[in-house]
Amino acid sequence: MSSTTANIHSPEMRKKPVNRDKMILSIVGYVTLTILAVFCVFPFLLVISSSLSDESTIIEKGFQIFPTAFSTEAYSLLFKYPEEMLKAYGITISVTAIGTLVGLFLTSMTAYVLSRRDFKWRSSFSFFFFFTTLFSGGLVPWYLMIVNYLHLKDTLLVLILPMLMNVFYIIVMKSFMSSIPDAITESAKIDGAGDFRIFMQLIVPLSKPALATIGLFIALAYWNDWYNALLFISKSDLMPLQYYLYKMLGNMDGMRKAMMASGAVVNTDLPTESLKMAMTIVATGPILLAYPFIQKYFVTGLTIGAVKG
């Protein structure tokens, strides 16, 4: 098609520019998104492939996208003496389960109260929460509060409590709940239901997409947390998975010791590189598996249209 102007008078050609624009956008869209997708998935392939590679090949040829010399040695080593890792898994699973359930409950309950238009002090409380994102005492006072005044150092609670609530999640949840018609609350009130009952029996079921989305984010934050452990955990019994991984990655000698402590007769040439990658996979796996099930709620669950109090 050399010239569109020549055909401008024929009716079927008048629609052409629109279609051509759509075509261009589609091509740009598919190409760009594919490139971005490859960019996002590439490091994962690299890790998976390295975890399945033979150590000597890695040393010789570097990390590769496709394993040239396949080996599951790293995994079998990892699962042979799994005690330390299982302990860390246990901590992470408990912290994630408790933190997510309690955190989600408190986040949604708070959001519900703030979403009630008839609540007189709604905007004062909203500002009370919101202000904490504007100003804070900084790391040091926060740290001292937790260690010296709440005495939470080296407890399981320190991995749960500081991350229980997040203002941004309250805002997202509140904005979702604000879109639920007031009439529902009103009619329930006329039928004699109390505020808590309205929340549990009407609002919670109606907020499923937001609960799923925020729940996943809370779970993700707990699953991936290593920072609280870095600051507050010194007992190896209380190490969560990511912190355990962090320690092991930085210190393969530590890993060797840990394996020997659990009864392994470890030769000195441990497949360090592939072992690191296998650990990475094992530490990441479960949370990645949860994602596809919750994805469908994402777009409806994440609305930040009205952040303001």
- Out of 67, 104, 174, 273, name the contact with other proteins by CB under 8 A: 273
Is 95 in a helix, a strand, or coil? helix
Cβ atoms < 10 Å from Cβ of 201: 12
Nearest distance from C-beta of residue 42 to other proteins, angstroms? 9
In whole angstroms, the minimum distance from the beta carbon of 165 to other proteins comes to 5
The residues in 43-62 that bind other proteins, with binding defined as CB under 8 A, are 43-44, 46-47, 50, 58-59, 61-62
Q: Which of the stretches 66-74, 75-83, 159-167, 181-189 binds other proteins when contact is defined by CB under 8 A?
A: 159-167
- Whether 114 and 174 have beta carbons less than 8 Å apart is answered as yes
Cα–Cα distance for residue pair 6/150, rounded to 1 Å? 80
Binding mask 88-127 for other proteins (x = CB under 8 A): ------------------x--xx-xx--x--xxx---x-x
Beta bridge partners of 53: 70
Q: Report 180-219 residues binding other proteins (CB under 8 A).
A: 194-196, 199
Residue 28 touches other proteins, criterion: CB under 8 A: yes
Cα–Cα distance, 176 to 178 (Å, whole number): 5
Measure Cα distances from 183 to 117, 180, 187, 243 in Å. Answer: 12, 9, 6, 48
Binding of other proteins by 308 (CB under 8 A) = yes
Of these, 29, 70, 79, 151, which contacts other proteins (CB under 8 A)?
A: 29
Q: Which token pair is 309? A: 């109090």
Q: Looking at 18-26, 81-89, 180-188, 262-270, which segment touches other proteins (CB under 8 A)?
A: 18-26
Of 69-77, 93-101, 259-267, 282-290, the segment contacting other proteins by CB under 8 A is 282-290
Contact 185, 196 (CB under 8 A): no
Binding flag, residue 293, other proteins (CB under 8 A):
no
Tell me which residue has tokens 């469908």: 296
Residues 219-238 that bind other proteins (CB under 8 A): 220, 223-227, 231
Residue choice 1, 2, 5, 139 for contact with other proteins (CB under 8 A): 139
What one-character-per-residue DSSP string does 204-231 give? Answer: HHHTHHHHHHHHHHHHHHHHT--HHHHH
Cβ closer to other proteins: 117 or 265?
A: 117
Q: Any idea which residue has 């190409």 for tokens?
A: 31
Distance in angstroms (rounded) separating the CA atoms of residues 227 and 221: 11
* Residue of the chain from 189, 253, 288, 293 that contacts other proteins (CB under 8 A): 288
Checking 127-132 for CB contacts under 8 A at 24+ apart, the result is 127/309, 129/167, 129/170, 130/167, 130/171, 130/309, 132/167
Give min distance, CB of 133 to other proteins, in A.
7
Q: Select 75 or 143, whichever has its Cβ closest to other proteins.
A: 143
Beta bridge partners of 70: 53
The least CB distance from residue 2 to other proteins, in Å, is 20
Q: How far is the CB of 168 from other proteins (least distance, A)?
A: 8
Interface residue with other proteins among 145, 184, 260, 261 (CB under 8 A) is: 145
In angstroms, the CA 22 to CA 33 distance is 16
In terms of CB distance, is 9 or 263 closer to other proteins?
A: 9
For other proteins, which is the closer residue by CB, 77 or 277?
A: 277
SS3 content of the chain, % helix, strand, coil (to 5): 75, 0, 25
Contacts of 101 by beta carbon, 8 Å cutoff, 6+ apart: none
